[in-house]
């Protein structure tokens, strides 16, 4: 799909999902109307709050990592929050993509999503994308909205890196996990942060 022919040429600086165009718009609107994995996670190990003050978006990401002997660690997530349709749809897409994945596959999803919503990676044209979050490519041309799309992903990334090593093993520093971490707040203010 050629995005330049799909309504992005309007150059609006502050689009909502409705102006993203085409298939991407459909996927984002669908997730914002019927969010997946929204609500508490049971059982839940950790929660990470994320805020995007520029847009007023708030997302709480809930997660647990299941460890079973002889098997890779697996990640389970849900979210809650409110804000613009892009922030909430992105959280829904993230939970859809990550839920039940191995820890390392979940990290790969985080990396791929960041490449897509930041515009570093342009997914191949497809009527049936592998992951719905590929629709976040439609956001990449609007720097203000990249922060909306990034919020849930950055929150989960912070949660996982705070409590687990890169293979999903719980970090040993229990003081960091039980005292410092629950007070950490993520604010996405600039593109770089
Ligand atoms: Zn937003």
pTM beyond 0.75, yes or no = yes
Instruction: Give, to the nearest 10 degrees, the angle between helix 103-117 and helix 143-163.
Output: 160
CA of 191 to the centre of ligand 1 (A): 13
CA of 136 to the centre of ligand 1 (A): 13
CA of 63 to the centre of ligand 1 (A): 22
pLDDT in tens, 104-149: 999 999 999 999 999 999 888 777 788 999 999 989 888 889 999 9
CA of 90 to the centre of ligand 1 (A): 10
CA of 172 to the centre of ligand 1 (A): 35
pLDDT of residue 127: 72
pLDDT in tens, 31-48: 999 999 999 999 999 999
- Please name which of 48, 53, 35, 50 lies closest in space to residue 75, comparing C-alpha atoms: 48
CA of 52 to the centre of ligand 1 (A): 7
Residue 109, SS3 per DSSP: helix
Please, which pLDDT band fits residue 79 given cuts at 50, 70 and 90? very high
Is the per-residue pLDDT at 53 higher than 90?
yes
Is the per-residue pLDDT at 11 higher than 70?
no
CA of 144 to the centre of ligand 1 (A): 8
Residues in the chain: 193
CA of 85 to the centre of ligand 1 (A): 7
| Contact by Cβ (8 Å): 122, 135 | no
């Amino acid at each position: 799909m050629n995005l330049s022919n799909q309504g992005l040429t309007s150059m609006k600086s502050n689009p909502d999902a409705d102006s993203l165009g085409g298939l991407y718009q459909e996927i984002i609107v669908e997730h914002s109307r019927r969010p997946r994995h929204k609500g508490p996670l049971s059982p839940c190990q950790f929660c990470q709050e994320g805020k995007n003050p520029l847009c007023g978006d708030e997302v709480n990401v809930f997660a647990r990592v299941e460890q079973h002997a002889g098997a890779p660690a697996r990640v389970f997530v849900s979210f809650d929050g409110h804000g613009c349709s892009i922030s909430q749809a992105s959280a829904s897409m993230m939970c859809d993509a990550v839920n039940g994945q191995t820890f390392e596959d979940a990290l790969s999803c985080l990396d791929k999503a960041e490449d897509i919503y930041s515009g570093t990676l342009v997914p191949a044209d497809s009527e049936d994308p592998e992951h719905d979050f590929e629709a976040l490519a439609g956001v990449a041309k609007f720097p203000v909205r990249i922060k909306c799309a990034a919020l849930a992903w950055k929150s989960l990334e912070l949660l996982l890196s705070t409590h687990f090593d890169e293979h999903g093993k719980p970090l040993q520093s229990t003081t960091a996990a039980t005292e410092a971490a629950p007070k950490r707040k993520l604010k996405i203010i600039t593109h770089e942060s």
